[in-house]
Structure 1
């Protein structure tokens, strides 16, 4: 049974064609994957199914009704999980009351608890009061993503649109979410999956649509296995990440962490963590979602206060608070956030924000800072006409590259990258990794990569720390740890990533 149909859809904004002549149907019980590079038109197409895109020509039908800006789908018919979950969560409301309030829109009061627990289970989230009592900022990026998924599953929609649902998820959670999406489809729900994760597509998709520059260039169930279009072949080829050569040991400490304890409210998420990062180091910090990786990175960057322990930059003790650090210290440690959209001021053009970093932290004149910022952005494919726009006008991939330029232009001694490849298509991801490799070749900048993607770990890092439940449980050379994991947590991550064989995902539902 067809749940939704898009016929000859064209969407234009300010004279710019974002989607051109796109047609497809979504069937109950099937998962359709929409694949393509950042800015290819995937999200715009999905928004048309919600009545939130300005349809220029063509028609969108959902559950037998024509959908447009004046006639959105009825409540509960379509569920939408956005790529950036923090924008969909109320920062001043706890998770539990919001979920229960949503449940009351669909079921009787005495059924709300059961419906809420079902949604939490489907989204691979705990149902204890400790978790439900948290605010969004007390959750990891992966947990925020799953909370939004739970929001939408409470309504039991006929169509679920999942925009990069595995962004920021570790391999174990990614596999569990894949199983749950298959189970959702097994309940007769049509699923539209917008993703750059080609492995997820291979695991789940019944049908695959490849989009490039607003058009569907290839479609079918096996287009990744037998790509015919040049663009599809390029997407598949970009998955192959070449390992980075090991850097020579410098012996010069950049950042030292000693017995660090940190957490949220009364709950510790880091326990007595110690590590040293040397000049030129290539360090990956890996662990499941919520293990404490980002808390560690944010403590080093001065974005999260710690309870006890010590941080040093070179020989100087670092204040736990960003506002108490010197301008030199701010420049020497730069942080690229997982949610890059939230890290930009939405009212200031991207170019101005990048240039301000060079002006403020390096003392460049306004003109020189702007000139260098533009040249650096253009090297990563961000043209001047794009760079001079407000952040909301850029795609996720364009913002991610801009955020990297904003950090690198400060000429840091330590660059912290928090899930910077999550949510990027394989081509853009490969370009970003090339930039990081070039940075490693030409400077002594140390690199600290927070990631769930073990292929990225193997491609750009030499050393790896495995974090589980707020503790470093294993560390060593990347190649050795991934080839022969010694701790159970490491082995689970490596197995779920497919680097150690396991049983294939059951696609029969």
Structure 2
């Protein structure tokens, strides 16, 4: 390998435990300081390639063919000790789900410092100073205090930024970035993208950037590889792939991204009042996280809640579902007041509100099959027999676009997008009145996300189900939501019809969110950073 070539993968083949081919003879070359974007639909093989770059196959997957060389060292021919010495120190991985990657029993700062200490790269004092510097650069609040928190004590977006810090802790030669901004709001995403780009340029770090967001990859990638069904569809410079795609599949991805930015306003619906939240206030310990929040959702309506990471969106969803933290206020469903805790709610009250979590890795039991996961609500709420459950499980799997034989698979054998669809099917199994959707499309590629949105709209029209839709994807809001509520620091900034929210004149914070949505052009990030400096 040349001095600048740090990663070379030739003829890579990865197979699932079932024998299915996940990656089919893919070649990858990566130079120092270069970013290769891997894009494609859920299950295309993007994450599998990223993990294979570390000589690793998850969930029993095996690298059956190919050559993998990291900075002159063959991972397939080397020993286990050789691979372990490279992982973390020479090549680091930022996972799609930070919550599933942090140890819940250890403080965040300790876990960020663990890499350089384990590999003997820094003293404890040096590792701590570098850890705090990274937390500060990633704009995490009060780095000293943040470092002493446990993973469950911070928001999903904050934990994802902490994972970027953990990956950079050893100053690796190669970063495998697997949807590193998926959990971030649009304003924070800008800062993380700018930081990643500056770190890559400063240390000449090479990176594989795995994402389904073309506008994001446009800001950071030098080259783009388009994948589908485990095969390479197209490879070229970022400019060529985004501005003049050669393959039909790539053109569809580009067209869908442009359509999602423009958005098509959802038709405004009205119906009987279903959910009302009055004067909701919530604390984590002594920390105020929600302050006097009021909102409502009518039957058959979608209310979108948007705002930056830590604004209180998911906390509001939790208290509506009867989950911690401690809160005060009044929540009514169909005119009947709900107890504050799920433990005090009747089985019928529990059935009527279902929650689809932001992080499917955390929400799904890795030891249960897909069929067991989807079938549990059927048994719990309706007492269905085994034959009835099997038939309903098959119907729901078809409804969400997964083969019926997925019922026998474990979550570890599924892609991130497939896991999220299973979570949606589990919620639908309870036949609820209200589904709280917490970033349900964030893990999906644009084409699959559009299919899920279409499915949600069809279900709403057919069943008059209501959605409380938490997201940082403003394109999704435009297309799905009847009304939108903007939150910041635990308070409601404004509420109105989605059409009114997205038309000028804007409230200042809402304008900041709207202008922070990435555009499908290479110089967008530079322009937005210059505007912030000037403004």
Same fold (TM over 0.5): yes
TM superposition shift of 1:253: 2.0
Task: Please state whether the residue corresponding to 1:440 is helix, strand or coil.
Answer: helix
Partner of 2:364: 344
Matches within 5 A, 1:228-239: 228-239=246-257
Q: Aligned equivalents of 2:267 and 2:186: distance in 1?
A: 25
1:39 maps onto 2:43 in alignment: yes
Change (3 A) 1:247 1:359: farther
Partner of 1:247: 268
Q: Aligned equivalents of 2:16 and 2:465: distance in 1?
A: 41
1:209 maps onto 2:225 in alignment: yes
TM superposition shift of 1:102: 4.0
Deviates further, 486-495 or 152-161: 486-495
Task: Please state whether the residue corresponding to 2:292 is helix, strand or coil.
Answer: strand
Matches within 5 A, 1:47-126: 47-53=51-57, 54-68=62-76, 70=80, 71-72=82-83, 74=86, 75-104=88-117, 105-126=120-141
Partner of 2:243: 225
Task: Please state whether the residue corresponding to 2:66 is helix, strand or coil.
Answer: strand
TM superposition shift of 1:33: 0.3
Partner of 1:310: 330
Q: Aligned equivalents of 2:390 and 2:341: distance in 1?
A: 29
1:294 maps onto 2:314 in alignment: yes
Partner of 2:406: 386
Q: Aligned equivalents of 1:373 and 1:19: distance in 2?
A: 29
Question: Structure 2 unaligned runs (5+)?
Answer: 531-535
Report if aligned partners of 1:285, 1:293 keep a CA contact under 8 Å in 2.
yes
TM superposition shift of 1:423: 1.9
Q: Pick the structure with more helix per residue.
A: 2
Question: Structure 1 unaligned runs (5+)?
Answer: none
| One of 144, 147, 169 as aligned partner of 1:129 | 144
Deviates further, 84-93 or 482-491: 482-491
Partner deviation per Cα, 1:55-90 (whole Å, 9 max, x = no partner)? 211100111111137341525101100111112111
1:412 maps onto 2:444 in alignment: no
TM superposition shift of 1:358: 2.2
TM superposition shift of 1:417: 0.4
Deviates further, 463-472 or 198-207: 198-207
| One of 144, 160, 184 as aligned partner of 2:175 | 160
TM superposition shift of 1:195: 0.5
The two structures, once aligned, show a CA RMSD in angstroms of 2.1
Corresponding pairs, count? 507
Partner deviation per Cα, 1:351-391 (whole Å, 9 max, x = no partner)? 12212212322343332222112112113221122222111
Report if aligned partners of 2:420, 2:443 keep a CA contact under 8 Å in 1.
no
TM superposition shift of 1:101: 4.2
TM-score (norm 2): 0.90
Partner of 1:145: 160
Partner deviation per Cα, 1:416-435 (whole Å, 9 max, x = no partner)? 10001112111110110001
Report if aligned partners of 1:207, 1:220 keep a CA contact under 8 Å in 2.
yes
Report if aligned partners of 2:116, 2:122 keep a CA contact under 8 Å in 1.
yes
TM superposition shift of 1:450: 0.3
Change (3 A) 1:295 1:203: same
Partner of 2:279: 259
| One of 313, 337, 354 as aligned partner of 1:334 | 354
Report if aligned partners of 2:351, 2:381 keep a CA contact under 8 Å in 1.
yes
TM superposition shift of 1:119: 1.7
| One of 206, 211, 220 as aligned partner of 1:190 | 206
Q: Aligned equivalents of 2:342 and 2:308: distance in 1?
A: 27
Partner of 2:533: none
| One of 7, 11, 31 as aligned partner of 2:10 | 7
Partner deviation per Cα, 1:303-338 (whole Å, 9 max, x = no partner)? 223332121112222122222211111111010001
Report if aligned partners of 1:263, 1:295 keep a CA contact under 8 Å in 2.
no
TM superposition shift of 1:186: 0.5
